[in-house]
Amino acid sequence: MPDAQDDPAAFILANTRLQTVPHTPEIALWLADEVTPLWRMTEEELGEIGLPPPFWAFAWAGGQGLARWLLDNPHAVSGKRVLDFATGSGLVGIAAMKAGAAHALGTDIDPFCHAAVALNAKANGVVIDFTDADLLDTPPPMVDVICAGDVCYEKPMTERVLAWLAQAQAQGARILIGDPGRTYFPKDGLTFLAEYSVPTTRELEDFAIKRSCVWSMP
């Protein structure tokens, strides 16, 4: 069994399989079929109990909705510099590149995401840069579009992320957010763009189909 810390790419390949994303079948990702075995295995490999779920191993509803919108509205990112915030598997960044973005940067503090994004980008014939720096500690980078899918799980983090995104919007970036009705997601001050019915797994969500909406700021 590949060691998760020494070779995260091999660990991902050994514990996931390449499969099309339900709501964006144009894209294939290395995804887990069941959350519990992989979650437990990741904890055992890293020797740390209580880790967050392996976000990189699943196509979350908010990200699927946002990726679908980008593929259907390529004018939003065509020829532009795109930041995929909290990228996870890299799904949204991949969708942006397939929609014609000039450059995509995925950012995530999960140490597995670098390997996951590289594997998934290669599987889809695109190139995505990656950083594991916590960008919330710095001024937003100068990009044209910032995409954020499923970032409103916890109240303090939601407030921090939205404040940072507002700062990015004030300096000229277009902000696109995908959210499936998370508790702390605020609709005030945002512009509704689209709604999708996204297939998910009951191991991760409370419904087999989630209503996922795409919003812009403002």
Assign residue 196 the CATH number of its domain.
3.40.50.150
Q: What long-range pairs does 170-175 form, CB within 8 A, spacing at least 24?
A: 171/140, 171/142, 172/142, 173/83, 173/140, 173/142, 173/143, 173/144, 173/145, 173/146, 174/76, 174/144, 174/145, 174/146, 174/216, 175/145, 175/146, 175/148, 175/216, 175/217
Token duo for residue 61: 């509803």
Q: Report pLDDT for 42.
A: 63
> How many separate domains does the chain show?
1
pLDDT in tens, 57-93: 889 899 999 999 999 999 999 999 999 999 999 999 9
Q: Report pLDDT for 125.
A: 98
Question: For residue 87, is it within any domain?
Answer: yes
Residue 133, CA distances (Å) to 4, 54, 72, 122 in order: 20, 18, 30, 22
Average pLDDT, the chain: 88
Question: For residue 36, is it within any domain?
Answer: no
Question: For residue 152, is it within any domain?
Answer: yes
Give pLDDT tens digits along the chain (218 positions).
455 667 889 988 988 899 999 999 999 999 987 665 675 666 666 556 455 567 888 898 999 999 999 999 999 999 999 999 999 999 999 999 999 999 999 999 988 899 999 999 999 999 999 999 999 999 999 999 999 998 887 888 889 999 999 999 999 999 999 998 888 888 788 999 999 999 876 556 556 677 899 999 98
Question: For residue 53, is it within any domain?
Answer: no
Question: For residue 25, is it within any domain?
Answer: no
Question: For residue 16, is it within any domain?
Answer: no
Question: For residue 65, is it within any domain?
Answer: yes
Full domain range(s) for residue 104: 61-217
Question: For residue 163, is it within any domain?
Answer: yes
Cβ–Cβ under 8 Å, residues 150 and 181? no
Token duo for residue 92: 């949204």
